[in-house]
Structure 1
Amino acid sequence: MSMPNLSDLGALAKTAKTYGLDLGERVLATFAVATGAVLTTATAGNVGHASFWQAVGAGGVAAAYSLVKGVLAKAFGDSNSASLIKGV
């Protein structure tokens, strides 16, 4: 088994950091848009008991929120990424 090239460790660390930032942003954004979608489509009395069509509507609203987030990320983040974090 060969030893890893130590000159590649810096690039590996940068890649791992970028991956971690991107993954963290995606997880937080998914939580935010899914929660917002459920609260948008459900009425006060049935947040925990949504009908099939309310659940489908929540999925559609979450997708629309994600689209808006991606468009905003292009304007405020890196223009070649859907991330709000610059350099990701």
Structure 2
Amino acid sequence: MTALEARKAVFEKNSNYITKEIYNHFQIKIQEAVSLGRCCCVVKVPTTNSFLIVDVLNLLKSEGFYCHIIPPYCEVYTVTDFCEIEVEW
């Protein structure tokens, strides 16, 4: 078993439904960008799931993706805010 396979197995075991949906959302956006011949994509996610997003970003990074958060330009944050994450490969 490789380190990546081990991380994925732990992710599958410890993740809840929402975390898996966020991961799938990232994968769909990545596949769409690849089909268009791009080397990166920007994924918009709600800020209310910040702890879950960190788990997903850690898995994506272990898969070889470069991820960084594009800081929002808001003075006050609300529950309905979104953040954008750029994923490069």
TM-score (norm 1): 0.32
TM-score (norm 2): 0.32
Structure with more of its chain in strand, by fraction: 2
- Kindly indicate whether structure 1 or structure 2 has the higher relative contact order, using CA contacts under 8 Å at least 6 residues apart: 2
